[in-house]
Amino acid sequence: MKVAEYHSSSDIRIKDIPVPRTKEGELLVKVKASGICGSDLMEWYRTKKGPRVLGHEIAGDIVESNSEKYSVGQRVFVSHHVPCGNCRYCRENNQTACEMLHRGNFDPGGFSEYIRVSKENADRGTYVLPDSMSYEEGSMIEPLACCIRGQSLLDIRPIHTVLVMGCGVSGLMNIAIAKLSGARVIATDLNSYRIKKAKEFGADIAMDAKKKIDERPERIIISTGALAAVEQAFKVIDRKGKILLFAVPKEPIVLPNTDFWRNELSLISSYGAGPKDLEASLDLIKTKKVDVKSMITHRFSLDKIQDAFRLASEAGNSLKVLIVT
């Protein structure tokens, strides 16, 4: 089968490897759609783990099942990370801190023709897609779930103004979810195309990130890896405000100690998603409460994945870029 082996964003090699063999309780899934995540483009984060096959936002068909729970032919979304359910983190409802969740993954990765789904992932991370949901929409379940999980840490209420910094796909999803909470949303970006899209997906105000923000938002979601966004967030956040690091910069963050202490600010990070977040995400997509389909702008074959990464890295007039088969 074909796989895309990642060495860097500009060095992705198509290779042929054997189709994985499944064992008891496992699944073999033919990948139909696989999204390029913003984290896949973070070379400072990814290259040290290479070479490897990336891709974790997938949907496809079960073509071989050694699990009593699933049958050949079922259309599924599969989560690459699943918690154990038994450790102290899981018992405290902090599944994204679970060691199993951090260790788990597909074999080999979503940018391939087939993946082997381990017994653990089959048991606790596989979801049958409704007939009304396309493979492409199914591939968006995981990234939307990450946004749901992140916002669950912020306690967003209708009385709040939420500032979303960065209007790529994760920013647009965060805008949509914040609006479902009844909050007022301000969105910023440097890209005029994405500023326009932020308005289309519900932002009350969408503006150039270089312009001055005259308000004091109670909640800020940073969906860009730009250090300047973090620095600006501390300048505009209201007292008792909460800042969510949904994306992180490469550079170290310097806290404005006096303001951080005096204004009782909170800086929160969010990584991944747990089962309840995935279930909530699937429901939001199924019921069309979040229009993820309109966030998909480009599709490439596996053979053209280098072009796909180039387009996604440029962050021009593109949002979600998918690899489809």
Average pLDDT of the residues in 39-47: 82
- Give the residue-averaged pLDDT of 234-249: 97
Computed over every residue of the chain, the mean pLDDT equals 96
Q: Encoding tokens for residue 244? A: 């969510």
| Model confidence band, residue 276 (pLDDT cutoffs 50, 70, 90) | very high
pTM of the model: 0.95
* Residue 252: both structure tokens together: 């170290």
Residue 281 to residue 150: CA distance in whole angstroms: 12
* Superfamily, domain 154-269: NAD(P)-binding Rossmann-like Domain (3.40.50.720)
Q: What is the mean pLDDT of residues 115-123?
A: 96
Which of 157, 151, 152, 160 has the alpha carbon at shortest distance from 218? 160
**pLDDT score for 12:** 95
Q: 239 pLDDT exceeds 80? A: yes
Question: 2-145+272-324 adopts what CATH topology?
Answer: Quinone Oxidoreductase; Chain A, domain 1 (3.90.180)
pLDDT in the model for residue 58:
98
**Domain residue ranges in the chain:** 2-145+272-324, 154-269
Q: Flag whether pLDDT at 142 surpasses 90.
A: yes
Q: Is the pLDDT of residue 47 over 90?
A: no
User: How far is the CA of 59 from the CAs of 41, 75, 168, in angstroms?
Assistant: 20, 7, 21
| pLDDT at 201 exceeding the cut of 90 | yes
The predicted model gives 236-252 an average pLDDT of 96
Indicate if the pLDDT at residue 55 is higher than 90. yes
Q: How far apart are CA 51 and CA 12, in angstroms?
A: 9
